[in-house]
Chain A
Amino acid sequence: MFKMKFFLLSIITFIHLVAFDAFITPSKLKDSFENKKLIILDVTTKEIYKTGHIKNAIHADISLFRDIKEPSLLAPKEKIEQELKKLGLNSDSLVVIYSRNSEQSILSSSFLALVLIQGGFENISILNGGYMAWVFENEFLVSSEPSYAQNDGNVTLTKTNILVDLEYLKNNTSKIMLLDARSPMEYFGVEKSKDINAIGHIPHAKSSYYKDKFLKDNTLREKEELEQIYIEGHELQPEDEIIVYGDTIYSASMEWYILYKHLNFKNAKLYEKSFIEWGNLDNAAVTRFKWE
C-alpha cells in the first residue's frame, strides 16, 4: 500500500517536472534564458535589488500585493491583476521568482507564488537556493541596471478556493489535516509568536516547520526526504485535504507552496489570517505543551 502511494506520487511529480519545476535549479533557469516568455522577478527590497540582481530580472514589490488596511491579507483581485500587468505578465508567461537568503526574503518569494497561484496562474517556479545559488553558478549573468517590463501584460486572474477563512477552518478542523508551519517552540508553546496573545497551537494541528524542508544553504531537501516528512511522518496522501497556517500568511505560504506545487497535494489550502487571527480571538481554543 505504501509502495503504491510512493509510486503514484512519483508519476504525478514526474509529469509535473516536465512542465515546470516548482523549484528550478540555476542551471535550468540559465537554459531557459533565451525563452521570450520568461519573466524573472526579484522580491528583495528595491535598495538591495539595485546593488545587483539576475540579468533581466524585474523588481517585484511584495507590499503592493497586500491589503493596505490588513497586511496579513491579499490585496483585492483587481489590484493584484493590475500590478502583475505592470510587471509584464501575460497569460502564457513563465515566471521565476527568487529571493535573497534572509527569512523575510525567502517568505516573500513563496508569498508572491501564492498570490499568483491563488489567482489561477500556475506557470511559476521559485529559484532553488535563491540569488546566492545563482551567483555561485552564473556569476556573469548579473546586473545592477534596473530592468522594467517593455509593455504591460495581459494576464487575467480567476478565483480559486486555496485561501480559507476562520469559518471554514472551524467547520472542518475535525476532518482535515491541519499543519502548523511555525517553529516547534511556538507550536509546543514555550515561545510566543510575534503580536499574538495565545501560546500553543490550534487543537489537532501537527507541527510542520517550513524551515525543516530546507538544507542549511537554503536549497530544498531531496524529494525522498520530503516524502518521508509528509507521507510517512504526517501520513498524508496526495488527495488529502490539508490546511496550512503560520503566524501569518508568510510563513504559511512556503509550507503550502512545497505541498501544493512541489509535491502536488492539490487539496492543500491556506488559512489566510493564520494564527495572528486565531490566537488573538477572545476565548481562542489553543492546545499547549502537547505534540499531536
Chain B
Amino acid sequence: MKSSSEIEAIARSLGINNDSIVVIYGHGKKKELLKSSYVALSLIVNGAKNVSLLNGQYDDYAREFKVEKETPKVKKGNFTAVYNPDILVDLEYVKSHITKIPMLEARSPEYYYGTELSDGVQRAGHIPKAMSSFWKDKFNKDNTLRSKEDLDAIFMQGYALQKEDEVILYCTGGLEASMNWYILYQNMGLKHAKLYDASMKEWGNRNDTPITKFKWETFTK
C-alpha cells in the first residue's frame, strides 16, 4: 500500500475532506469490486471515518437513477491521514500467529488447495492452518452482497468467528483479501480484523515460509 502522505495527497485531489462521506463503486466487473474494497481499506487505514461501498455497483444504480456523462470539477479537499497501526500486518506478524489466531485466504479454492498456481506466486498451497474463504463467495451472482444471514452463516458459524476475535485476511497480493477484510471490519463489525497486504506474493515466493497443500483446514483455539 502507498504511504500515508501519498494517500493523503490522492484523497485531497479527489476532494475528500476530514468530514466527507465517501461512497466507492466500480462498473460491473468483479475486479472492480476488489478495487473499491482496496480503496476503502486504504482510506480507513489512514483514518477515514465514513466510507461505504455501493452495493450492486454502478450497474444497479444506473438501472434506477439518472446518471451523467460530465466529469465533475473537484475542489481540493483537506483530508489529513492519521495512520491506524492495527490493521495492516507483515510477514513476521503472520508467522508468529500461525495456530494462534484464525486466518482466512481469499483466493479461489484451487489456489488454496494447491492444484493451481497464482500468477506471480511460485509455491502452491496456503499458509498453514489458514482456512479457505474465497472472496467471491460472499457475493450473489449479480454482484450484490449476500444477505446478513448468509454472511453470518459463512463467518460466524462456518469459521466460528466472534465479534471480538482477531483474524488475519490474506490472498495473492492484498486485493481479494481487502474485500473479506472490508466485509468483516466495516460490515460485520469485527474491529480486530487485520490484513496481510503482501500476502502470497511475498509468502509464497520465499523458501523460509511454511506452506500446506492438499488440505482443507479448520481452526480451533
Contacts and interface: CB of A to CB of B under 8 A. Distances in A.
Contact of B216 (A190, A206, A228): A206
A291 B214 contact: no
Contacts of A234: 215
A230 to B, nearest CB: 9
B214 A228 contact: yes
Contacts of A291: 131-132, 158, 216-218
B109 interface: yes
Interface residues of A, number: 18
A105 to B, nearest CB: 21
A184 B115 CA distance: 12
Contacts of B159: 290
B157 A290 contact: yes
A152 interface: no
Nearest to B132: A291
B22 interface: no
A289 B109 contact: no
Interface string A209-253: 000100000000000010011001110000000000000000000
Contacts of B153: 288-289
A234 B115 CA distance: 16
A8 B153 CA distance: 41
A288 B153 CA distance: 8
A292 B154 CA distance: 13
Q: How large is the interface on B (under 10, 10 to 19, 20 to 34, 35 or more residues)?
A: 10 to 19
Interface string B97-140: 00000000000010001010000000000000001101001000
Contact of A233 (B109, B216, B218): B216
A252 to B, nearest CB: 18
Contacts of A44: none
A188 interface: yes
A185 interface: yes
Contacts of A289: 137, 150, 153-154, 157-158
A290 B153 CA distance: 8
Contacts of A184: 109, 113, 132
A289 to B, nearest CB: 4
A185 B137 CA distance: 9
B214 A232 contact: yes
A207 B150 CA distance: 20
B191 interface: no
Contacts of B109: 184-185, 188
Given A184-B132, A233-B215, A291-B217, 15 more contacts: A184-B109, A184-B113, A188-B137, A207-B216, A229-B214, A229-B215, A233-B216, A288-B153, A289-B154, A289-B157, A290-B159, A291-B132, A291-B216, A291-B218, A292-B216
Interface of B: 109, 113, 115, 131-132, 134, 137, 150, 153-154, 157-159, 213-218
